[in-house]
């Protein structure tokens, strides 16, 4: 590949860090990052477009969860000490009950480190939880690793104001988009009115404020990037949640404030090339396409067979379950080595796999010898894409669709 050297340079730069995050060390090897970056660049066929996608990778800021948690931890203990606060004086905000929420993980990190086990957490997901408690004369900390548009933060602050009395609400956030920071400042100056003698304080020492990423590109480059993003089919995310236009990752995981070409395959830009868009980052997982979760879905033979029979009838072919599963699995990747496919899909030997590849090729559905894998026509690609969305829609953070072949509903 022509851009191989440039991709290797980015990988080396991104892995060169003084932090020792277990997630960073164990999950993102040189090979993993290189594969993600190379597959992303291969979304484009022309060298000029490939260079633009390479620049998107270069200009995307990556921080580690360790950095954000250390920042929040240090800021909290410094503020607690300066104000001589007792553990009984402190509340932590949880925005949701989800254990994997970044706010909750930061709180857990601080509690474990400081043994503040008696500290009460507020769950702001449910108004009734706040209204049923009278929290007075407390210092309330709101932690997060990242603020994009500021919408969720401001929404949470409104809930807190209606339920706290004579409290200091302190915001500790590691990295901000400039738009989110400005929205918060505007809210505090022009909109926030306390009726319960509450005060909101932003702890600003050493925070990171990221300016517009558009400034990193020429006008023509940025226009091309936004044109790709406009083809995202996830409602409200064409320019990132809240129109944030962000380009930032934490341990290579992506908030939905990011431009969608970074984190979702739900972009129709490559319909003309008969393959799915391949992002280089993920919303929820260390690797965008997790073998295990995909295989778990494909092991539901009765469910998969419903679509297999419809595909066979529609195109007048005779794919077996294993051959159909092979196609669906390969849809999620730009390319895979034969030895890897043998292991992942559980073939007894490589000869069995090669035989299935040859049979699939004879159907003129997809060329599995082509790198990257590519369907033989738009019509075929669109029908398989509907199947893909029906089976993997929830896994890839999108809603399942009821239509399958040619817009028709499933029938038993």
DSSP H or E segment with residue 151: helix 151-161
Q: Are 178 and 264 in the same domain? A: no
Rounded Cα gap, residues 20 and 1, in angstroms: 32
Nearest to 147 by CA among 157, 139, 135, 137: 157
- pLDDT of 16 > 50? The answer is yes
Instruction: Report yes or no on 312 lying in a domain.
Output: yes
Instruction: Report yes or no on 269 lying in a domain.
Output: yes
Nearest to 192 by CA among 179, 183, 203: 183
Instruction: Report yes or no on 302 lying in a domain.
Output: yes
> Exposed, middle or buried, 131 (CB in 10 Å: 0-12/13-18/19+)?
exposed
pLDDT of residue 116: 53
- pLDDT of 22 > 50? The answer is no
Instruction: Report yes or no on 280 lying in a domain.
Output: no
Q: DSSP class of residue 265?
A: S
68, two tokens: 């954000």
C-alpha distance from residue 262 to each of 102, 110, 411 (Å): 20, 31, 36
Instruction: Report yes or no on 284 lying in a domain.
Output: no
- pLDDT of 273 > 80? The answer is no
Q: Are 73 and 194 in the same domain? A: yes
pLDDT of residue 37: 86
Q: Are 101 and 192 in the same domain? A: yes
Q: Are 70 and 178 in the same domain? A: yes
pLDDT of residue 403: 39
Instruction: Report yes or no on 286 lying in a domain.
Output: no
CATH number at residue 177: 3.40.50
- pLDDT of 121 > 90? The answer is no
Rounded Cα gap, residues 30 and 204, in angstroms: 35
Question: Number of structural domains, the chain?
Answer: 3
- pLDDT of 100 > 60? The answer is no
Q: Are 199 and 158 in the same domain? A: yes
pLDDT of residue 5: 83
Arithmetic mean of pLDDT, 3-9: 83
> What domain range includes position 237?
4-59+212-273
377 and 367 Cβ atoms separated by less than 8 Å? no
Q: Are 181 and 219 in the same domain? A: no
245, two tokens: 């236009």
pLDDT of residue 132: 59
Q: Are 70 and 190 in the same domain? A: yes
Q: Are 168 and 193 in the same domain? A: yes
Instruction: Report yes or no on 412 lying in a domain.
Output: no
Q: Are 257 and 190 in the same domain? A: no
Q: Are 238 and 310 in the same domain? A: no
Label residue 134 by pLDDT band (50, 70, 90): low
The last residue of a domain, from among 162, 181, 210: 210
* 121 conformational bin, left if phi > 0, alpha if psi -120 to 50, beta if neither: beta
- pLDDT of 407 > 60? The answer is no
Arithmetic mean of pLDDT, 93-117: 67
The last residue of a domain, from among 188, 210, 232: 210
Q: Are 220 and 165 in the same domain? A: no
Question: 243 has which bridge partners?
Answer: none
Cα angle 282-288-293, degrees, rounded to a multiple of 5: 125
Nearest to 173 by CA among 279, 248, 264: 248
pLDDT of residue 94: 77
Does the pTM of the predicted model rise above 0.85? Answer: no
* Range with lowest mean pLDDT among 74-88, 274-288, 290-304, 368-382: 274-288
Summarised one tens digit per residue, pLDDT across range 52-90 is: 999 999 999 989 888 998 999 999 999 999 999 888 888
Q: Are 32 and 114 in the same domain? A: no
């Amino acid at each position: 590949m022509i851009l191989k050297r440039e991709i290797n340079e980015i990988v080396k730069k991104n892995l060169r860090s003084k932090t020792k995050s277990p997630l960073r060390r164990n999950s993102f090897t040189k090979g993993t990052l290189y594969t993600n970056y190379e597959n992303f660049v291969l979304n484009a066929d022309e060298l000029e477009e490939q260079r633009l996608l390479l620049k998107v990778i270069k200009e995307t800021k990556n921080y580690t969860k360790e950095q954000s948690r250390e920042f929040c931890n240090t800021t909290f203990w410094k503020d607690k000490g300066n104000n001589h606060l007792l553990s009984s004086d402190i509340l932590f905000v949880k925005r949701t009950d989800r254990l994997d929420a970044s706010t909750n993980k930061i709180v857990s990190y601080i509690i474990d480190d400081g043994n503040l086990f008696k500290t009460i957490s507020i769950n702001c997901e449910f108004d009734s939880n706040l209204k049923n408690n009278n929290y007075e004369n407390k210092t309330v900390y709101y932690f997060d690793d990242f603020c994009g548009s500021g919408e969720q933060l401001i929404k949470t602050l409104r809930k807190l104001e209606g339920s706290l009395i004579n409290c200091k609400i302190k915001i500790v956030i590691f990295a901000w988009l400039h738009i989110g920071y400005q929205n918060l400042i505007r809210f505090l100056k022009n909109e926030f009115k306390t009726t319960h003698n509450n005060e909101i304080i932003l702890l600003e020492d050493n925070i990171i404020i990221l300016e517009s990423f558009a400034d990193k590109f020429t006008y023509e480059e940025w226009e091309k990037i936004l044109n790709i993003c406009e083809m995202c089919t996830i409602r409200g995310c064409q320019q990132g949640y809240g129109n944030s236009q962000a380009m930032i990752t934490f341990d290579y995981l992506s908030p939905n404030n990011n431009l969608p070409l970074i984190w979702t395959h739900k972009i129709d830009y490559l319909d003309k090339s008969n393959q799915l868009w391949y992002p280089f980052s993920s919303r929820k997982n260390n690797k965008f396409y997790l073998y295990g979760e995909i295989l778990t879905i494909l092991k539901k033979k009765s469910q998969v067979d419903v679509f297999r029979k419809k595909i066979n009838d529609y195109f007048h072919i005779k794919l077996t379950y294993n051959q159909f599963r092979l196609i669906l699995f390969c849809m999620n990747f730009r390319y895979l080595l034969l030895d890897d496919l043998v292991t992942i899909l559980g073939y007894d030997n490589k000869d069995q796999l090669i035989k299935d590849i040859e049979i699939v090729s004879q159907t003129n559905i997809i060329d599995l010898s082509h790198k990257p894998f590519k369907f033989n026509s738009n019509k075929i690609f669109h029908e398989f894409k509907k199947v893909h969305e029906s089976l993997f829609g929830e896994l890839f953070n999108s809603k399942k669709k009821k239509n399958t072949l040619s817009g028709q509903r499933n029938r038993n």
